[in-house]
Amino acid sequence: MSSERLRYYKYFFLFASGCLVLWTVMTPSNDPNIKPQSNYIKSLSKMWSNKADEYEHPRVAVILTVSLHKRYLFTLPFTVAAWQKLNVEPIVVIVGDYDVLQTQHQSKVTIDLLLELGARLHFIRNDTTAAPTLSQTSRLFAAALPFAEEYTDDDIFITSDADMIPFHLANHIPNLAANQKLYIYNADCYGNTKVPPARGDYEVPMYSMITLGATVAAWREIMGFNSTNFNGSDIENYLHTEFGQGFFHPTDGEKEDLKSTLIWYADQSLCSYKIAEWFKQDPANRWSTTMTRACARRIDRAMWPAPTQMQNYDLNQWDDAHLIEWGFKEGQWQLFKPLVTLLFKDSEYAPLRERLDKYRADYIAKDCCD
Q: Which residues contact 319 (CB under 8 A, 6 or more apart)?
A: 166, 167, 168, 171, 296, 297, 298
pLDDT score, position 180: 97
Query: How many whole angstroms from its chain centre is CA 102?
Result: 19
Beta-ladder partners of 161: 65
Nearest to 183 by CA among 150, 147, 159: 159
pLDDT in the model for residue 57: 76
Distance between CA atoms of residues 241 and 196, nearest Å: 9
Q: What is the pLDDT of residue 256?
A: 75
State the Cα–Cα distance between residues 53 and 199, nearest whole angstrom: 43
**pLDDT for 25:** 34
Contacts of 246 (CB under 8 A, 6+ apart): none
Whether 196 contacts 354, CB under 8 Å: no
In this structure, what is the dihedral angle of CA atoms 32, 243, 62, 161, given to the nearest 10 degrees? 110
Q: Which phi and psi (to 5°) does residue 215 adopt?
A: -65, 155
CA 181 to each of CA 154, 279, 291, 306: distance values in angstroms, whole numbers, following the listed order: 9, 12, 11, 39
pLDDT at 69: 83
- Report the amino acid identity of residue 13: F
Q: Strands 320-322, 298-300: parallel, antiparallel or unpaired by DSSP?
A: parallel
CA 334 vs. chain centroid, Å, equals 26
- What is the model's pLDDT at position 38? 52
Residue 275 confidence (pLDDT): 98
Give the tens place of pLDDT for each residue, 71-95. 889 999 999 999 999 999 999 999 9
Give the Cα-Cα-Cα angle 287, 194, 165 (nearest 5 degrees).
Answer: 65
Q: In this predicted structure, what is the pLDDT of residue 29?
A: 43
The Cα–Cα gap between 61 and 52 comes to: 13
Q: What per-residue confidence (pLDDT) applies to 15?
A: 47
For the chain, residues with pLDDT lower than 50 are 6, 8-29, 37, 42-53
Nearest to 215 by CA among 148, 296, 287, 292: 148
Q: How far is CA 100 from CA 105, 107, 111, 130, 360, in A?
A: 11, 9, 12, 17, 22
Residues 138 and 245 sit within 8 Å (Cβ to Cβ) = no
SS3 content of the chain, % helix, strand, coil (to 5): 50, 15, 40
Q: What is the pLDDT of residue 261?
A: 87
First to last CA, the chain: 74
Q: What is the 3-state secondary structure (H, E, C) of 26-75?
A: HCCCCCCEECCCCHHHHCCCCCCCCCHHHCCCCCEEEEEECCCCHHHHCC
| Gap between the Cα atoms of 328 and 358, Å rounded | 11
Separation between Cα atoms, residue 188 and residue 206, nearest integer Å: 8
pLDDT at 368: 81
Q: Which pTM was predicted? A: 0.87
pLDDT at 110: 97
